[in-house]
A and B are shown apart, each in its own frame.
Chain A
């Protein structure tokens, strides 16, 4: 099993550009989530999903969109990138919900110039 796979690993954007961070898991997990990690801030929840077709906002959702059309995939979209979105992004999944142990992807380092 590959676990949780994130692509790309690194990305540089210009302000105003759009892009999608990809996340896929092969563990048949119902729960998937996106976090951003900034120095001194820990991890902050952006969006999460409890199953295909169901998404909800986390702590810092502004500027990000998500959808969950399949159990396996949970892409994160930046519609118009801003320098404040420079961060490391982690996708995580668990078998049922946020009260189960999370499995993390390897992260995407995003820089917005």
Chain B
């Protein structure tokens, strides 16, 4: 059974600082997704990572995937308040039509 772990679950950081969110998963998969959820809102797709070594960047966020280590990272550069949200990673369970989500990382960026 696929397990997905994110850490940290809560992250409070100052504007301008850098930080990384980690997503570990327990079984082989070649597809990993990052989603963002604002309070009281739905989820929106940020990144789709399809292969080992994949790196995607948009603005101050950069995501990478290491399938051998079963690890994805979401790196935040020079954080700004608008990045405050909950970030989820989700991993496709190979051989199935199931996507397993991590518990999410609630990010708060303080002035």
Q: Footprint of B on A, CB under 8 Å?
A: 31, 33, 35, 40-45, 48, 50, 56, 58-59, 90, 92, 97-99, 101-107
Contact = CB atoms under 8 A, between A and B. Distances in A.
Contacts, number: 56
Interface residues of B, number: 23
A33 to B, nearest CB: 8
Given A42-B88, A99-B92, A104 B44 contact: yes
The 9 closest A-B pairs by CB, nearest first: A42-B103, A43-B101, A42-B101, A98-B97, A104-B42, A98-B99, A104-B43, A99-B92, A101-B45
Interface of B: 4, 9, 31, 33, 41-45, 48, 88, 90, 92-93, 96-104
Contact of B98 (A45, A103, A107): A45
Given A41-B103, A42-B88, A98 B98 contact: yes
Given A98-B92, A99-B31, A101-B48, A45 B42 contact: no
A90 B93 contact: no
